[in-house]
Structure 1
Amino acid sequence: MTTNTNTNTNTNTNASSKMFLRFDRKEHVFAAPTDATVPEATDLRALITAAEGETQGHRPPRGFNDLQKYLTLCSEGKVDIRRITVFHSRRYCMGVKVVYSCNGNLHIADTHVSNHGYYGGTTRESVLNFADDEYLCEVRTRQGDITDQITICTNKRTVSFGGAGGSPDPRDVSKTPVDLTKRVVALVGSFHGVLSRIGTVSILRNWEIISDFVLVRELVESNRASPKPLNAKRVTFQNVEKEVAVLQELMKVDTGIFRHVLSFLIANVASD
């Protein structure tokens, strides 16, 4: 390691109307399932087919899909990934297990592990606990016929498990910054003796990023808060201060214009 049940199936706004599936180094945008019991929420093959649309003649693999667990918890409150366990040897990865948090309670997803055949061997468990302000951004891999290495990328750190074989991820950790605009909400994957492929289902964080600003605007409009005065010289020469100045101006515009601007900033937010 490199350091550095509830059966309610209704969903809420915790689950975005648009999701992103990244599997076998390809990313697809798809409409979020409206219910936790639909095939694409429970079955990997159905999820890949729904996300890819036309599968171009190939048959998607069978495997695991934690999206149902996430969507089910969404009916109870805000859902976060709080812990990931990676099962691996010195050379290969065998599987994963996710623990979610919701309303102060921990919810354990199914354990997805396979360890047999040519690539099987002694397995160790490495546990990665997330801080309260930490979230999963990406999962990068080294892979060939199977997954040699898993790299967990959060908004705080990057941690790798497994070996150094296989081809590197196109999103090289040293060259490609971690995408902080998306939050992984579920892991998916397939097996071939050990872990063959691992993928992620993500949602945009646009609303999470800007929600505090919207709240401040409401406080300003109700005279319960006021924008902090800006230094004119810093506004001229400091890019950060310029951005703050723009945001403060946005607080002053009428509601119609404000909503219209938000429609460009936040995915899936209508301007009406």
Structure 2
Amino acid sequence: MRQTQFKMLLLIFLVCCFTGTTAFAQDKNFHIYLCLGQSNMEGHGQFEPQDTITNSRFHVLAAVDCPELGRQYGKWYPARAPLTRCHTGLTPADYFGRTLVEKLPKNIEIGVINVSVGGCHIQLFDQDSTASYVAKAPEWMKSMLAAYDNNPYERLVVLAKMAQQKGIIKGILLHQGESNTGDREWPNKVKKVYESLLHDLHLNAEDVPLLAGELLSAEAGGKCASMNSIIQTLPATIPTAHIISSAGCQGIGDGLHFSPAGYRQLGKNYAASMLKILQKK
């Protein structure tokens, strides 16, 4: 009898120790943001020296191995462009993070995880359609998909779970829609992906808002600017969604992508929205 009681007490002690260790390792002052989308979130802008200056409070979790950058998959590094893959460019996530560390108290650190694929539809991140989407993907997209083992959603979830061992997921950044231009079902498709992430990561929508950016505006020559009217309806489908304006964000001649200055401003716009959300909590 005494031996049984001793074993039970030992088991309870070990469980408590394990739980306590896990809780201690998760730093509530380490705010983590998940980033996904197509080429504008992936990073199409040519980064410049100013975009490679690091801040000790801004970090990136490597989504792929990049030996030339000295990065290994699944490890944290000081955040500097490129954040997504080895040869991508400037992304809104760069100046989103830089602005947050500038504006938030000094005890707050920021981490980003960026898993994005240029040219993709939102359906790529829907686990019910990922396999069929990958099977039909054009040749130019296949190397990008292969970098994530042909499942960007799963890669994002795996990395997010790693990150949850260190900090708290505070939001999800989305920039996608060019490939879904005119798709009235886009808000529902985004909702499915968002809710899947919340479910798989055991998150509450009220604690983890979705920040969705507008595409290059018509004023800046955006060829897909008509999609912005659909993007703007997203909060009607997802109450915790917030739309990030692209007004005043410069573009380049292809009518699809932002200029480096445009990416910097768009990232600051994402940050301004998130700061307002944080102030209300």
**TM-score under structure 2 length normalisation:** 0.25
Q: Normalized per residue, which structure has more strand?
A: 1
TM-score, normalization: structure 1? 0.26
More contact order relative to length (CA 8 Å, sep ≥ 6): 2
Which one has the largest radius of gyration? Answer: 1
1 or 2, which has the higher helix percentage? 2
